[in-house]
Amino acid sequence: MIRADLYDPLLNRAYAEMAEHYGCLIDPARAQKPKDKPRVERVISYVRDSFWRGRSFASLTDMQTRAVSWCREVAGVRAHRSLEGASPLAVFAALEAPALLGLPARPFELARWLSPKVAPDCHIVVDKVLYSVPWTHVGASTDTRVTDTTVAVHVDGKLVKTWPKAQRGRCTDEADYPPEKIAFFSRNPVWCRSRARDLGPHVAELVDTLLAVQALHRLRSAQGVIGLAERHGPDRLDAACARALAAGDLTYRTVRGILAAGTEGQPAPGQESADPAADAAEAAPSVATPAHLHGPAELLAHLRREDTPDPARGASTGDDSSQAVAE
């Protein structure tokens, strides 16, 4: 008993479940009423003195067999004063046996009830294991029934999730996440390639190249490139991808930088432009761009230019010093 009450007593939850499972009625004795219990407990001393005292048993099976014989031959046939001299076995056969219910198809499984709270990541913690719960219940306190085989989560008296009992780790159902997070998880490499083809040929080429090697590691980059279409439009994104492909720099940061600078319509480094005036304007010191493009051929070009002799200078370092001395 958790709380004694004459009209609405509060029972231990697992004990109440057991009574419901076997179809039994729990009738608690009244608090501070010592005469309510003796009639029920008096039989305990009788069994102790008549059956247990002075006997020893070789095994559990031996004890059970002798107990059945004692019930039928001793306890069941005695004249009982509370039954007006009738034997308990005769009263049982006449009144109680026909009213007995059959046992349930499966035995009762003892459960524990816990009250974990649903965290912002849509999970509860039970015995150091994480179990996901539908996102609409984030922040709610749950009534979680834990057995050796299952974890059943209830919110406001309604079953919202059932999981097989796990020993460690994390049990997550992606359907329990909010719709926007489910959409993010569904953006796998197949989806990325399909969506990229809808945005333009250069977007498709760039995404295919990204996902050609180590697709799982580059999946987030591909998702980011595709996501730029929502802000800048598919036409600008396709032009930016074309410029990044020409420069050989296929990163999300590069494509984003091209779009931020608005230079997706300009040729990549190393390519001639049909508009020399636009190239001169781009090369002017006053023009700043956050997109720094260097194709593979341009990475060490400035070093090669410095190592190449300049015919206009004529003499070597030694000639220069001799001329200086002569002067």
Residue environment code for 11-48, b if the CB has 16+ CB neighbours within 10 A, otherwise e: eeeeeebbeeeeeeeeeebeeeeeeeeeeeeeeeeeee
Q: List strands edge to edge, sheet with 143-146.
A: 112-114, 143-146, 150-155, 158-164
Q: Report which of residues 90 and 302 the model is more confident about.
A: 90
Q: Which of 258, 253, 190 is nearest to 225 (CA)?
A: 253
Look at 171-175, 196-200, 283-287 and tell me which has the smallest mean pLDDT.
Answer: 283-287
Token pair for residue 200? 């333009």
**Predicted confidence (pLDDT) at residue 317 exceeds the cutoff of 50:** no
Look-up of token digits 């719960």: 133
Q: Report which of residues 35 and 73 the model is more confident about.
A: 73
**Predicted confidence (pLDDT) at residue 320 exceeds the cutoff of 50:** no
What is the rounded distance in angstroms from the CA atom of residue 49 to the CA atom of residue 112? 36
What is the rounded distance in angstroms from the CA atom of residue 131 to the CA atom of residue 122? 8
Residue 6's pLDDT band (cuts 50, 70, 90): confident
Q: Report which of residues 33 and 320 the model is more confident about.
A: 33
Q: What is the pLDDT of residue 56?
A: 92
Q: What is the CA radius of gyration of the chain?
A: 42
Q: What is the pLDDT of residue 80?
A: 85
Q: What is the pLDDT of residue 98?
A: 92
How far CA 88 is from CA of 73, 91, 115, 298, in Å, comes to 11, 5, 46, 104
Token pair for residue 71? 């019930």
Q: What is the pLDDT of residue 325?
A: 39
Q: Report which of residues 138 and 318 the model is more confident about.
A: 138
Q: What is the pLDDT of residue 318?
A: 44
* Residue 167, φ and ψ in degrees, nearest 5: -90, -25
Domain boundaries, given as residue ranges, for the chain: 1-33, 112-177, 187-303
Q: What is the pLDDT of residue 319?
A: 46
Q: What is the pLDDT of residues 277-316, one digit of tens each?
A: 544 444 444 344 445 555 555 555 555 555 555 554 544 4
Residue 321's pLDDT band (cuts 50, 70, 90): very low
Look at 23-32, 51-60, 83-92, 120-129 and tell me which has the smallest mean pLDDT.
Answer: 23-32
CB atoms within 10 A of CB 203: 27
